[in-house]
Amino acid sequence: MSTPINDGVFLWQDEAVCSGTNTDTFFTNEKQAKTICSGCPVLGDCLQYALIYNLSGVWGGTTDKERSRVPRYEVEILRDDAEESGLYNKHLKV
């Protein structure tokens, strides 16, 4: 994750193509959500965010089931890196 957090929102989220989209889409319509994600310039940041915070729904063009296949040690590395850089807030409610 390369952008800082500001008032609980990561700045990469401002560049997400889903900004302004009804969030229900990402929990109820996987195909439509993935279509929206497919052209997003911050897909990687979004995916890392979902992995670090163990989110459900479609994030970074992947479902929570797909993300569950990422080895735990890789998620821990991402989380450790984010924590070291000050980008991980274990108290952030997402």
Helix (H, G, I), strand (E, B) or coil at 71: coil
Query: What confidence tens digit (pLDDT) does each residue in 57-94 have?
Result: 999 999 999 999 999 999 999 988 888 877 666 655 55
User: What pLDDT, on the 0 to 100 scale, is given for residue 60?
Assistant: 96
Helix H or strand E segment including 5? strand 5-6
pTM: 0.81
Q: How many CA atoms lie within 13 A of 78 on its CB side?
A: 19
pLDDT in tens, 27-48: 999 999 999 999 999 999 999 9
Residue 74, Cβ density class (10 Å: 0-12 exposed, 13-18 middle, ≥19 buried): exposed
- Residue ranges per structural domain of the chain: 30-86
Top-confidence residue, 15 or 93: 15
